[in-house]
Structure 1
Amino acid sequence: MLMSLLVAGLVAVGAVAIIDLLLTVAVIRRLREHSDLLRQTMNSGFSASVVAPVGTEIGAFTATTTTGATIGDGDVASGTVVAFLSAGCEPCRTRLPQFVAYAKNADLRAVAVMMDGDRDDPRFQEMLSALESVGEVIVEEFGKPVWQAFRVQGTPAFVATGNGRIVSTDLPGAPDPVLA
């Protein structure tokens, strides 16, 4: 009787070990497939950038700043750094001081495009105030003309312009952005 219980227990442990081995092999196979798919995606020119690539021509747009001035694509064609930010975006708030410091010290025109949001939100007001201290600010819904002109897909995004084209897609010396 004892011997048959030991044999049954040994068979059960062996069966569990075999099932575990089969599941492990299946997971490894799936991870290899996943790695191959990622490698193919990365080799196909996929980019995690949230703006158009360097060299892209700036699209046409006209917008009104918070002071009532009108800005168009011709006004930001050269020597301008444009920031695309949202008050509800934690990475945007983290990078805001970097942009403000850069805009104060750079020999470039600074324009900020804020995603329209709850204007009574203290975070919105703080960001707006900080941005207005260093340049012109456009408050516009995501996907509207200015966002489209630079092909912005997310925030934070920073663009430097030259000759009507994008010449840089980040703040010089700043760490890589975290996509929101």
Structure 2
Amino acid sequence: MAYVAAAAVLLGLLLVTNLILTVGVIRRLREHTTELAALRDNGSGGVDADVAMPAGSPVGGFDATSVTDLPVSLATLGERPLVGFFSPHCQPCKERLPAFVEYAGTRPGGRDAVLAVTIGGREETAALAELLGPVATVVVEPDQGPVQRAFGVSGFPAFVLVEEGVVAASGFDLAPVLDRDAVALPATG
């Protein structure tokens, strides 16, 4: 009987210790989630500012091939391309993708003036390429590929509006880039 009581006490102590550790881990995860959400919402800590080159930066040169085997460079995209960078494993990319596709589908210049860069292999980015293909020229490249380096992309998603080879607007959030594009579109006719 003494063994059963000792085993019950020991089991109880283990359960209490496990409960205390679990509560601590959950509390820490909540803190991290709150901090990440704050960074994404307001760009503090450099998240938004560092996702791509800032406005006024000249875009580097690059040569790539689209998923339809056409050559792609800054020159092939026209004077005012809209560029989006997406990763198939990125939740914010999935959240912003529908708005990008919707806007790109109505943008003057059509898919030839919109570039979508998916990061990864062809198989893992196939679903993204299928969604983006009707509204954009799609390039698949590995992380830190030539297009990503040309635009200074360091996070996903990243959106860049280029005017005559210079970044006009960029960011993690699509809205400010689209606002800048909407303002400039009437001026270009």
Place the TM-score, normalised by the shorter chain, in its bin: 0.5 to 0.7
1:64 aligns with 2:65: yes
Instruction: Verify the 8 A CA contact 2:77 2:114 in the aligned structure 1.
Output: no
Q: CA deviation at 1:48?
A: 2.3
Q: What letter corresponds to residue 93 of structure 2 in structure 1?
A: C
Q: Quick one: distance in 1 between partners of 2:122 and 2:73?
A: 25
2:139 equivalent in structure 1: 138
Question: Partners in 1 of 2:74 and 2:119 — Cα distance?
Answer: 18
Q: Could you state the TM-score of these two structures normalised by the residue count of structure 1? A: 0.65
Counterpart position of 2:98: 97
**Alpha-carbon offset, residue 73 of structure 1:** 2.2
Q: TM-score, normalised by structure 2?
A: 0.62
Partner of 2:163: 162
Deviation at 1:77, TM superposition (A): 5.7
The question of 1:149 aligning with 2:153 is answered no
Matched, 1:55 2:59: no
Structure 1 residue runs without a partner (length 5+): 1-45, 176-180
Q: Moved runs in structure 1, 4+ residues, more than 6 A?
A: none
Work out the CA distance in 1 between the residues paired with 2:122 and 2:102: 25
Question: C-alpha distance in 2, partners of 1:173/1:55?
Answer: 15
Kept after mapping to 2: 8 A contact 1:77/1:164 = no
CA offset digits 1:35-63 (Å, max 9, x no partner): xxxxxxxxxxx732300000100001000
The number of residue pairs the alignment matches comes to: 128
Select 1:116's aligned residue among 116, 120, 126. 120
Greater C-alpha Rg: 1
Equivalent AA in structure 1 for residue 118 of structure 2: M
Q: What CA distance in whole angstroms lies between the structure 1 residues aligned with 2:118 and 2:131?
A: 12
Q: Are the counterparts in 2 of residues 98 and 174 from structure 1 also a CA contact under 8 Å?
A: no
Percent sequence identity over aligned pairs:
32
1:54/1:166 contact within 8 Å kept: yes
Output aligned runs, 1:33-48, within 5 Å.
47-48=46-47
Aligned to 1:86: 87
